[in-house]
Structure formats: structure tokens, C-alpha cells
């Protein structure tokens, strides 16, 4: 039976003290909303509805950029979580199957937990996600009988006995779509806040003689982001989890606590990452590659056996073939580096293709920008590029060519040619260096 996903992303997030909608604040290079959508990917939802409100246009643009099949609906007035879910009713009118309600500011619910909720719906009408809180504070409490949920009690309405309960409500809920919207139609705003609460649903389920089952998860999965401090804690949690997963799948992190991942970093087995490496979005590092200390990578692909750094920067579009060497203080952008090629020292290679086996000397620059447009440099296989060379694009250097040190190349070079700029070297005898005057 097909699933539907409803992600609530309408809140203002006043505690963030930001002009930007809360769900667009980023962890590891991706907005909170995208983390929430990705966490539910395992549901293979036939319909995904994002409920927007504050900053709706920006939130909708982010959601659709991530997945163009997302349906965006707006909650014009923020009147509670139950009211927010109701805004998805029309979009899911023809859906026959479970609907899962997640939150755009709660990014870490796992696929395994959502699978348990789906399994719980086989024997219950509604599944509610709960967690054992280390410090229950003012969370809503789940009053249970075994795995059956009897009611959700808000802290302010709870008795002393109920406040002693440590099983707390995450807000995440799943139910048959038709039943969910039927129940929400019965929810009232007869409360101090004058809002329609999703937490009223389990009570209505029990009144009908149906069953609500509790599914338990680790507290960290329910971490919500409501402030800058929460965002920092969530970022730290993400990094810890990403480092652990990378090592569990075979990557070697020499100082894990100093390596920073993006939301989509992929590391192959037996690759090594030295200390103080930062991965931006869109990086894949294959088996056996080594990323040396203090390097920064984003939007790039590093093939087997390649060595990058230390102190290297790979920018979007950098494609390193097998056994490439990219050394210290080298920057590569929108360039393909062929198998076994070396760019070892103090060079900039941008908008270029470097052939297999080519050696690029220290201080080489591909001059790709004329102040308005970018142009491409193409260097063939087994070329030797001497130190302090400038290649003024668009230009092509043929296979096996040699570029002498200190040369400016602005015309195409045929295969096998030696290229140099003629210079005169003058020597003078008897020259005395100036000395610093004494004060």
C-alpha cells in the first residue's frame, strides 16, 4: 500500500532571531527541511506534501529544487499542528493508504524508525513516535498500557504522577490518511492557545474504540531545532553520526573529531582522511584515495588511489582520475585531471582538462577569465609544464609537449613541441647590494 508524507514547515521560528524561515537554516550544507525529506526517503512516498507558512515562497522553492514532485500547500494562519496537517487534506483526497506526519525542524528521524511505524500500523489505527527523555522537562507525556497509547498529556495539564513519566511525545505520527483527516475534523480549538492540536488525535482514536500504538526511538532522533543553540547541537550530532557511519563502512579517519562532512558526502572503503579536512556538498571519494590534512573539497570526485593535499582545495567540477596527485596549496575548479597526472605545488587549474601522465609544475596558472567570460585550457597526455607557467585560455597544448619554466602560453602548441619565451639574461660584475641605513 502506498504511503504519503506530510512535512510541517510553516513555523516562524522566532527564537532563531533570523529573517530566514527556520526550516531553511542549514546543517552540513543542506536546509533542515531537506534533511527531514531525506529521512523519509525509505517510505517511497507516492505523495509528499510540504505545508508552508512563514517565508512560504522561499521554503517552497527549496522543497521543489530538491524534489520537483513535492506538493506545496500553505497554512495562511498558524493555528496549531492539527490545523497545519488539515491543509494537506485536499492534496491527499485521492490517496488510499497511510500518511506520515513529520516536521521540517526535526531532521534526524531514521528510516528504520519510520519502518517500525509502518509496521505498527498493521495492528493499529494510529502510530505515535515516543522517546525516553533524559530530562523530560515540559514535553508532552505518553500515558501507555504496554505499547498501547491511552492519551497524550501536555505538561501543564499533567498530574504529578503523569509528570513522573519519562516517555515523551515527539509529535511524529502515522495513520490511515482518510482516518487521519476524519479525526482532525473533530479536533477543536477549545484550549488556552485557541489552536487545533495534532496531539488530540489519539484521544479521539480511543473514543472510537480503535488502537493507537507507541513506537519508541532514541531521543537524539527527535532533536528539534528552535534556536541557534539547538542548531549548533544538531550540527554536532549530525557530524558525530556521519563520522561513525563513514568508519563503519570502511573509511579511515585519523582524527574523526576534526573532519567535517556535508549531508551527502560519500567515502569509499579504505580511503584515508587526515585531520582537519572539510567536505562541502557533492563530494565522492573512492576506495584507496587519501585526503591529506587541511584540505577543503566540494562538488568534486576523487578516484581510486588519488592523493589530495595537504592544504589543497577542490572546487565544484573537479574530477580526479585514478592515481592523480594534487599537492599543497593547489586549487582545482571545473577541471578533469587525467590518470596519474600531477599538480603538486602552488598552482591554479580552472576550466581545464589535463591529460594522463602530465606533470604541472609549481606556480602554474590557467588564465581562464578575461574579466567577463570563462575560457578553457586543454593539455594533452604526458606534457611537462615548467614552473611559473601561465596558460592564457582558450589554448590547447598537444600530447608530449614541454613548456619551459616561466613561459606564457597564448597560442596552441602542437604535439611534442618545446615552447619557451625568449629572454635575455644579463650578468654584471662588481654589483654591491644596498644596505640598510643606521638610524
**Catalytic residue positions, numbered:** 345
3-state secondary structure the chain: CCCEEEEEECCCCHHHCCCCCHHHCEECCEEHHHHHHHHCHHHCCCEEEEEEECEHHHHHHHHHHHCCCCEEEECCCCCCHHHHHHCCCCCCCCCCCEEEEEECCCCCCCHHHHHHHHHHCCCCCEEEEEEECCCCCCCCEEEEECCEEEEEECHHHCCHHHHCCCEEEEEEEEEEHHHHHHHHCCCCCCCCCCCCCHHHHHHHHHHCCCCEEEEEECHHHHCCCCCHHHHHHHHHHHHHHHHHHHHHCCCEECCHHHCECCCCCEECCCCEECCCCEECCCCEECCCCEECCCCEECCCEECCCCEECCCCEECCCCEECCCCEEEECCEEEEEEECCCCEEEECCEEEEEEECCCCEECCCCEEECECCCCECCEEECCCCEECCCCEEECCEEECCCCEECCCCEECCCECCCCEECCCCCCCCCCCCCCCCCCCC
Amino acid at each position: 500500500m502506498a504511503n504519503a508524507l506530510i512535512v510541517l514547515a510553516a513555523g516562524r521560528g522566532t527564537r532563531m532571531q533570523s529573517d530566514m524561515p527556520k526550516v531553511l537554516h542549514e546543517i552540513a550544507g543542506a536546509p533542515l527541511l531537506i534533511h527531514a525529506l531525506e529521512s523519509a526517503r525509505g517510505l517511497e512516498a507516492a505523495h509528499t506534501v510540504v505545508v508552508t507558512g512563514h517565508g512560504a515562497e522561499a521554503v517552497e522553492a527549496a522543497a521543489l529544487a530538491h524534489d520537483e514532485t513535492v506538493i506545496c500547500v500553505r497554512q495562511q494562519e498558524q493555528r496549531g499542528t492539527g490545523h497545519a496537517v488539515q491543509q494537506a487534506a485536499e492534496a491527499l483526497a485521492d490517496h488510499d493508504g497511510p500518511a506520515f506526519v513529520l516536521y521540517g525542524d526535526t531532521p534526524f528521524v531514521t528510516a528504520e524508525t519510520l519502518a517500525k511505524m509502518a509496521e505498527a500500523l498493521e495492528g493499529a489505527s494510529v502510530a505515535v513516535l515516543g522517546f525516553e527523555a533524559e530530562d523530560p522537562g515540559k514535553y508532552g507525556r505518553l500515558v501507555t498500557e504496554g505499547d498501547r497509547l491511552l492519551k497524550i498529556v501536555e505538561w501543564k495539564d499533567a498530574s504529578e504522577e503523569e509528570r513522573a513519566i519519562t516517555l515523551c511525545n515527539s509529535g511524529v505520527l502515522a495513520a490511515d490518511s482518510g482516518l487521519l483527516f476524519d479525526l482532525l475534523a473533530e479536533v477543536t480549538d477549545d484550549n488556552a492557545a485557541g489552536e487545533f492540536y495534532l496531539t488530540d488525535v489519539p484521544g479521539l482514536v480511543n473514543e472510537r474504540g480503535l488502537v493507537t500504538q507507541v513506537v519508541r526511538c532514541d531521543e537524539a532522533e527527535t532533536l528539534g531545532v528552535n534556536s541557534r543553540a539547538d542548531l549548533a547541537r544538531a550540527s554536532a550530532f549530525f557530524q558525530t553520526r556521519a563520522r561513525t557511519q563513514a568508519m563503519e563502512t570502511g573509511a579511515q579517519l585519523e582524527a574523526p573529531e576534526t573532519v567535517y562532512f556535508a549531508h551527502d558526502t560519500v567515502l569509499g572503503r579504505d580511503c584515508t582522511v587526515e585531520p582537519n579536512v572539510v567536505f562541502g556538498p557533492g563530494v565522492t571519494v573512492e576506495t584507496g584515495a587519501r585526503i591529506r590534512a587541511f584540505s577543503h573539497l566540494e562538488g568534486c570526485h576523487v578516484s581510486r588511489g588519488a592523493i589530495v593535499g595537504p592544504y589543497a582545495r577542490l572546487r565544484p567540477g573537479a574530477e580526479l582520475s585514478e592515481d592523480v596527485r594534487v599537492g599543497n596549496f593547489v586549487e582545482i575548479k571545473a577541471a578533469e585531471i587525467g590518470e596519474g597526472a600531477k599538480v603538486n605545488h602552488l598552482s591554479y587549474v580552472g576550466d581545464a582538462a589535463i591529460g594522463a601522465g602530465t606533470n604541472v609544475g609549481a606556480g602554474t596558472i590557467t588564465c581562464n577569465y578575461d574579466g567577463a567570460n570563462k575560457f578553457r585550457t586543454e593539455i594533452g597526455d604526458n606534457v611537462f609544464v615548467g614552473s611559473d607557467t601561465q596558460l592564457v585560455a582558450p589554448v590547447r597544448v598537444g600530447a608530449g609537449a614541454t613548456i619551459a619554466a616561466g613561459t606564457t602560453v597564448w597560442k596552441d602548441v602542437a604535439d611534442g613541441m618545446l615552447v619557451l619565451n625568449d629572454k635575455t639574461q644579463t650578468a654584471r660584475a662588481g654589483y654591491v647590494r644596498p644596505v640598510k641605513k643606521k638610524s
